[in-house]
Chains A and B, each alone.
Chain A
Amino acid sequence: MIDLVFLAFIGFILLLGVRRPFLWVLLYVYIDILAPQRIGYGIITSVPVSLIAFMAAFGGWLILDRKAGARFTLRQALLAALLLYCWWTTGHADFPDEAATKWDWVWKALLFAIFLPLTLTTRARLEALALMLVLSVATIVIGTGMKTVLGGGGYENLHFYVNDNSGIYESSTLATVAIALIPLIAWFTRHGTIFRPDWRVTAFAVLLIFACLLVPIGTEARTGLVCIAALGLLLVRYVKRRAVFIAGGAALALAALPFLPPSYYERMATITAPGGDESASTRVAVWQWTLDYAAQNPWGGGFDSYRGNSFTYVMPVETGSGASTAVQYREVTDEARAFHSSFFEVLGEQGYPGLAIWLALHALGLWQMERIRSRWRSKDAQPDEREAWIAPLAVALQLASLIYLVGALFQGIAYQPVMLMLIGLQIGLNSYCKRLDSARAKLAQHTPSAQAAQSPQRGAVTA
């Protein structure tokens, strides 16, 4: 039954796309995030919905769509360089079979991120993509939030639509993405045009933000808590009443403490004392191994190169319960521990050249969003509605990037499709702003005052 509902929904978007081909791009975004073919268990599993959506998105753009304003930018070139470099390292990988498995989804995510900005030529399209990202993630987050409130949470206990710990359905990844999207959700309460801001939009956004904050609690993902703290700190820069914001945030956090389960406190305690947790304690060892590995393999070892690592260390293990709890120190050997950090993931897999491209891609995005924020920030009491949305969207996308990078410090999500789509959105916004500036410059060129101002200069040069 659920399969038929998904197929009907996909068919509905395919039909709407005949009139507006851009909707096929949104269809691919929806399928890539939510993965309905993995939620269903019948006929939908045998239909290549992802391939159909990509062919429709690309073919629709190529044949039917207007391409006015489509630009190939420096960041797309960086994505293309990263794609080519990943292809090269896959051919020389330490573990060819495993590398080929990861390459199989990474190249699609990177290719779509390169293609996506070419389609984002209008304000409505930028907003539509942001809405599709938010609502696709919201579909997962709403369920997660409701289960947490009703007591169904817990580390590795909270069930998603798909429970194979992959993609966005991995608890730490979902927590990072959910927190990263909070500023974008808030943006819709002020500047949305598809759903015009009113009390219903605000109420939904508040509940959705609450659900996003519940994801790290329900999944007990430590990275999520770090992301919430980072978001709180970053928001201090943008709020008008900083003292009220800090006091309110602290009061809210204190008020929430009694409602948190004991297992949550135990898990979060391992952030500052990782010795008792295998996952946390091996991270530093993996990172040190990666630095040594990169020194010997500066060009990278290909995807999943971490499979070559092995560590033996002493770890405290608790036995018994209650008053008879005893702590024993045992020697533990770990093999093929994942990188547990996107920075080390890229370094180990793509070497220093890949890391340089990846860092440049993100640094450039942060800088571009900062530049847009300062260029388009309105100083008027009643700003022009047609441009007032630009600076807040740049802030939301910059915050999303920063939260992602904070989350990426502790998990291997360097090629996470949602974050690559956010990069696509940033590129689209930057190109749109450049086109606005260019159109303004052309207009100014032909105004009488500008011409009068230019005339003597031209005369002076001629003389």
Chain B
Amino acid sequence: MIDYLALAIGHGLLVLGLLRLVLRAELDRDPLLEELDQSARTKRMEATRRRGKAARTASAAENADSKAEAR
């Protein structure tokens, strides 16, 4: 009788836990890691944009300087 009761408690909790797990997308995709990866991707794109903008500004300034020197 005790054995059956213990088996019922253990398996009841296992069923409940497994049902909760199967409904969780986090089981396959970790939200924190995905958030960090996404932020890193966004930051990288922003940094690339910033570098491009800075390079364009610098090149424009260089052009202006060389034109002024030519004059």
Contacts and interface: CB of A to CB of B under 8 A. Distances in A.
Contact of B5 (A136, A146, A436): A146
B24 interface: yes
Nearest to A161: B3
Given A436-B36, A439-B33, A442-B40, A195 B17 contact: yes
Contact of B22 (A19, A135, A152): A19
Given A16-B22, A19-B22, A195-B17, A142 B10 contact: yes
Range class of the A interface residue count: 35 or more
B69 interface: no
Contacts of A439: 33, 36-37, 40
A128 B21 contact: yes
A22 B40 contact: no
Interface in A206-230: none
Contacts of B53: none
A440 B36 contact: yes
Interface residues of B, number: 37
Residue of B6, B16, B37, B43 with most partner-chain A CB within 10 A:
B6
A63 to B, nearest CB: 14
Contacts of A447: 43
Residue of B14, B22, B36, B39 with most partner-chain A CB within 10 A:
B14
Interface in A312-329: none
B20 interface: yes
Interface of B: 2-7, 9-11, 13-22, 24, 26-33, 36-37, 39-40, 43-44, 46-47, 50
Interface of A: 2, 5, 9, 12-13, 16, 19-20, 22-23, 26, 30, 65-66, 69, 121-125, 128, 131-132, 135-136, 138-140, 142-143, 146-147, 150, 152, 161, 194-195, 386-387, 432, 435-436, 439-440, 442-443, 445-448, 451
